[in-house]
Amino acid sequence: MSYQKYYVPDQSKFPIFAAISLFLLVMGASSTINSLDNPDSNAVYILYLGFTVFGINLFFWFKTVIAEHIAGLNSAQLQQSFVFGMAWFIFSEVMFFAAFFGALFYVRNFSVPWLGGEGEKGLANMLWEGFEASWPVMSTPDAGSAFVLADKNMSWPGWDHALKWLPMWNTIVLLSSSVTVHFAHLALKNNNKKVFNKWLAVTVALALTFVALQIAEYYEAYAHYGLTLNSGIYGSTFFMLTGFHGFHVMMGGFMLAVMLCRSVFYNHFDSESHFGFEAASWYWHFVDVVWVMLFLFVYIL
Amino acid sequence: MSAVIESHDHEHHHGPAEGLTRWLYTTNHKDIGTLYLWFSFAMFLIGGAMAMVIRAELFQPGMQIVEPEFYNQMLTLHGLIMVFGAVMPAFVGLANWLIPMMVGAPDMALPRMNNLSFWILPFAFFILLSSLFMEGGAPNFGWTFYAPLSTTYAPPSVTFFIFSVHILGASSIMGAINVVVTIMNMRAPGMTLMKMPLFVWSWLITAYLLIAVMPVLAGAVTMMLMDIHFGTSFFNAAGGGDPVLFQHIFWFFGHPEVYIMILPAFGITSHIIETFSRKQLFGHTSMVWAMTSIAILSFVVWAHHMFTVGLPLAAELFFMWATMLIAVPTGVKVFNWVTTMFRGSITYETPMLFAIAFVVLFTIGGFSGLMLAITPADFQYHDTYFVVAHFHYVLVPGAIFSIMAAVYYWIPKWTGNMYDERLGRLHFWLSFIGVNVTFFPQHWIGLAGMPRRVPDYALQFADWNMVSSVGAFLFGASQILFLFIVIKTVMGGKKATPEVWEGSRGLEWTVDSPAPYHTFTTPPKVT
């Protein structure tokens, strides 16, 4: 077996700058959040600074890694490290969503029924005796004395209204984007860069469409449904699950857009070497699977 | 263990860079391991100083030294610092130093990310410690930060706490990904999974646990942040949520977390007992399976921390039995260690003393854990000093002793110098006596009914609290001796051979002492 040297980079300035910018980012974020009711606070500029430095640093970090790859420093073994690394990173993201899905599962199956007087711990109903359990929870146990109740929810409206229902379109858009990114992948494997670029561009466009639709949905929720973060547990789980998913769609879409730019402007990627794209597409499929779960457990069931 | 056929290095290497930037910019696993270990030591001393404040306050009944509010901040920060700042980084430091050498890899798989994993930590703990000086003081809700103490009733600094946990988690996840990838992808040819040294195995399993549960912790603190500042009601029953939901999410993270803090100790202990018994470890394969079983079970036992919170009966029973099941693989491990020592040619150097103490005292902690696992009995023990005694027995003479054992065992490889054996043994005996005098009486005052997390207590607990405090001061002071021994060894001492120990097995003992800056740039062949 022939052995290729595993490239261990010399000293690097990227990590320490990443750490410093993360520090600024979270200091800025904490200070900003703690002074939300103080209009004179300038803490948000620390947040911006941290975010900017982090982004710039990340850009040059990735640029260096790409340059090393093009220079042929990365052995097959090292590339395998990236593959494993990305796979485990996605697993950690799965577990992040698991926490929120777990919370949803728990409130739907345990805490809300118990508060409504059902089940083994139905004694909890003595806290707010008039409360009746249902899902989505439209009236909070305290009947909205500490919350602003929603008039409508986002759940499945029935087949008659299915086509006027935004989440249905979101599902169609996102599922087809998973297919288009797969077409792009196939084209790349055939070394057909033109078709690759085309399908990848379609995927990015679909990602943008999804985000636009979700913004429209949130606008509807806040402006017309009265459904907000402050509407009790239904609003909490709805916005946190769909919000974090939307945030991941933006990240995944951004990654794919970067890959598109790399391909179009720098002619990166060929049928042999394209893990940057592949990692982004894995991430995209992951985002898609999370959406299917969301569609089932947040919207339909 | 496997024998090495070829481990010669034909390439020329640069040594480390000069000056401070060596440590800031380094991508070398040995440098980063050293950084982790020193950082962990610093945190151990800071968290230990907080423990001294706690024990000083509890020396006598009545309010003596600190305000109750400050006492709560001390016990919260003590727990957080020891868990996230002392024990976990120490194990990551050992992983950095040892795993590439043990599997015959040139470095960790992702060296730059490795540096980032470390350098996040000092910033995260700077944020956490700076909360002491903020309005309303530091977090005061215990290291488990149960809602609503950590939401509705929390000091403003909780926001900083939340974000520091976020970046700590990011650091742990990146570190764990690095470990997994190194182990999966960088093993020398011929080193099959079952030939892998047990420390490497223990870390592979630990890293998997870390990647699985640190994101759940991130989810938990995110929900807290939203509840506190943005009007959600995850942990607020008035809005349909449930404060108990917090406990479920926290302990879904928290129970695997306590195994994260003990599995690498299992690996370390196996190596040390094997070496100083001058026998091959008994039951290598069963050790692997035992650790795997423990890791899998750790995901389905979390609610044994919550027996008194009002769970349905079926849950109480399930979590009781699942928890007791863990005693089986743990028993396998203890059996294997004892059997390895059986009829071995044992010598009692400092690492072996710590390792034997680990086996005995960790087992005591395990037994009190079994007592706590019995739901109806737990109704009596819950939130008493018995629990404090239990988890300190598994963490101090468990995790911490194993870290100390590891330092004595591998420091000749790291520095090229032997530590002072006489001082090492003195450190061991002082620590051993200190730890038992501190924590053993806490079993009794706990069974007698003294609640945990209190700055004052009823008079009947006075005597044993005083004994416990004296033990704590002894244990605390003897760690200064440890610091001295480590510095003395770094500065000089008897030169170590490559093998260091008579019975040592494994690739790390085939390279020079101190280990060259780069090892195994060409992988050795393992048969």
Q: What is the pLDDT of residue A290?
A: 98
Which of A5, A10, A11, A90 best probes binding to B when mutated, by most B CB atoms within 10 angstroms? A11
Could you tell me which chain A residue has the CA closest to the CA of B163? A26
Q: How far is CA B249 from CA A8, B53, B214, B242, in A?
A: 39, 31, 11, 11
Amino acid in the structure at residue A274? H
What CATH class does A74-300 carry? Answer: mainly alpha
Q: What is the mean pLDDT of residues A32-50?
A: 94
Contact status of B317 with chain A (Cβ, < 8 Å): no
Could you give the count of Cα atoms lying within 13 Å of B517 in the half-sphere of its Cβ?
14
Residues of A in contact with B180 (CB under 8 A): 84, 88
CB-based contacts of A118-121 (< 8 A; 24+ apart in sequence): A119/B312, A120/B312, A120/B313, A121/B310, A121/B312
Could you tell me which chain B residue has the CA closest to the CA of A93? B215
Note the pLDDT tens digit of each residue in A224-274: 999 999 999 999 999 999 999 999 999 999 999 999 999 999 999 999 899
Q: What is the pLDDT of residue A10?
A: 85
Model confidence at A2, in pLDDT bands (50, 70, 90)? low
- Domains of chain B, start order: 4-14+22-526 (1.20.210.10)
Cβ-nearest to A121 among B106, B213, B310? B310
Q: Which residues pair with B6 in a beta bridge?
A: B525
Compute the radius of gyration of chain A from its Cα atoms: 23
Task: Tell me which residues of B are annotated as active site.
Answer: 78, 107, 143, 171-172, 255, 257, 259, 270, 304-305, 330, 333, 452
- With beta carbons less than 8 A apart as the criterion, state whether B348 and B405 touch: no
Q: Is pLDDT at B379 greater than 70 in this prediction?
A: yes
Tell me the two tokens of residue A258. Answer: 């970067």
Cβ-nearest to B245 among A9, A16, A106? A106
Q: Is pLDDT at B352 greater than 80 in this prediction?
A: yes
Cβ <8 Å between B216 and A13: no
Q: What is the pLDDT of residue B14?
A: 65
B7 three-class SS: coil
Contact status of B205 with chain A (Cβ, < 8 Å): no
Could you tell me which chain B residue has the CA closest to the CA of A101? B219
Q: Is pLDDT at B164 greater than 50 in this prediction?
A: yes
How many angstroms separate the CA of residue A87 from the nearest CA in chain B?
9
Tell me the two tokens of residue A288. Answer: 């898609």
Q: What is the mean pLDDT of residues A111-116?
A: 96
Residues of A in contact with B36 (CB under 8 A): none
Q: Is pLDDT at B4 greater than 90 in this prediction?
A: no
Note the pLDDT tens digit of each residue in A43-84: 999 999 999 999 999 999 999 999 999 999 999 999 999 999
Closest Cα to residue B234, out of A152, A100, A149, A125? A100
Q: What is the mean pLDDT of residues B491-511?
A: 94
Note the pLDDT tens digit of each residue in B12-62: 456 788 889 999 999 999 999 999 999 999 999 999 999 999 999 999 999
User: Which B-chain residues 38-97 have CB contacts (< 8 A) with chain A?
Assistant: none
Q: Is pLDDT at B286 greater than 50 in this prediction?
A: yes
Q: How far is CA B308 from CA A106, A238, B305, B371, B383, in A?
A: 18, 31, 8, 15, 10
Q: What is the mean pLDDT of residues B430-453?
A: 97
Model confidence at B525, in pLDDT bands (50, 70, 90)? confident
Cβ <8 Å between B237 and A124: yes
Q: Is pLDDT at B6 greater than 80 in this prediction?
A: no
Q: What is the pLDDT of residue B5?
A: 43
Contact status of B19 with chain A (Cβ, < 8 Å): no
Helix spans in B282-400 (H): 284-297, 313-325, 327-341, 350-373, 375-381, 385-394
- With beta carbons less than 8 A apart as the criterion, state whether A8 and B111 touch: yes
Residue whose token pair is 């809602």: B147
Cβ-nearest to A232 among B116, B214, B240? B240
Cβ <8 Å between B120 and A147: no
Q: What is the pLDDT of residue B154?
A: 96
Cβ-nearest to B120 among A5, A19, A239? A19
Model confidence at B3, in pLDDT bands (50, 70, 90)? very low
Taking one residue from A and the other from B, the number of pairs with CB-CB distance under 8 angstroms is 227
- With beta carbons less than 8 A apart as the criterion, state whether A85 and A278 touch: no
Q: Is the complex ipTM higher than 0.90?
A: yes
Q: What is the pLDDT of residue B267?
A: 97
Q: What is the pLDDT of residue A4?
A: 77
How many angstroms separate the CA of residue B331 from the nearest CA in chain A?
30
- With beta carbons less than 8 A apart as the criterion, state whether A96 and B219 touch: yes
B26 three-class SS: coil
Q: What is the pLDDT of residue B11?
A: 46
Could you tell me which chain A residue has the CA closest to the CA of B313? A120
Name the phi and psi angles at B276, rounded to 5. -85, -10
C-alpha span between A231 and A149 (Å, rounded): 5
Q: Which residues pair with B451 in a beta bridge?
A: B384
In percent, the amount of chain A with pLDDT more than 90 equals 92
Contact status of B310 with chain A (Cβ, < 8 Å): yes
Which of B185, B210, B224 best probes binding to A when mutated, by most A CB atoms within 10 angstroms? B185
Q: What is the pLDDT of residue B399?
A: 97
Residues of B in contact with A147 (CB under 8 A): 231, 233, 238-239
Could you give the count of Cα atoms lying within 13 Å of B96 in the half-sphere of its Cβ?
30
How many angstroms separate the CA of residue B116 from the nearest CA in chain A?
5
- With beta carbons less than 8 A apart as the criterion, state whether B171 and A18 touch: no
Amino acid in the structure at residue B41? F
Cβ <8 Å between B245 and A111: yes
Q: What is the 3-state secondary structure (H, E, C) of B412-454?
A: HHHHCECCCHHHHHHHHHHHHHHHHHHHHHHHHHHHCCCECCC
Q: What is the mean pLDDT of residues B324-329?
A: 96
C-alpha span between B11 and B419 (Å, rounded): 31
Note the pLDDT tens digit of each residue in A135-161: 999 999 999 889 999 999 999 999 999
Mean of per-residue pLDDT scores for chain B: 95
Cβ <8 Å between B119 and A16: yes
Residue whose token pair is 């711990």: A121
Cβ <8 Å between A8 and B27: yes
Contact status of B495 with chain A (Cβ, < 8 Å): no
Pairing of strands B525-526, B4-6: antiparallel
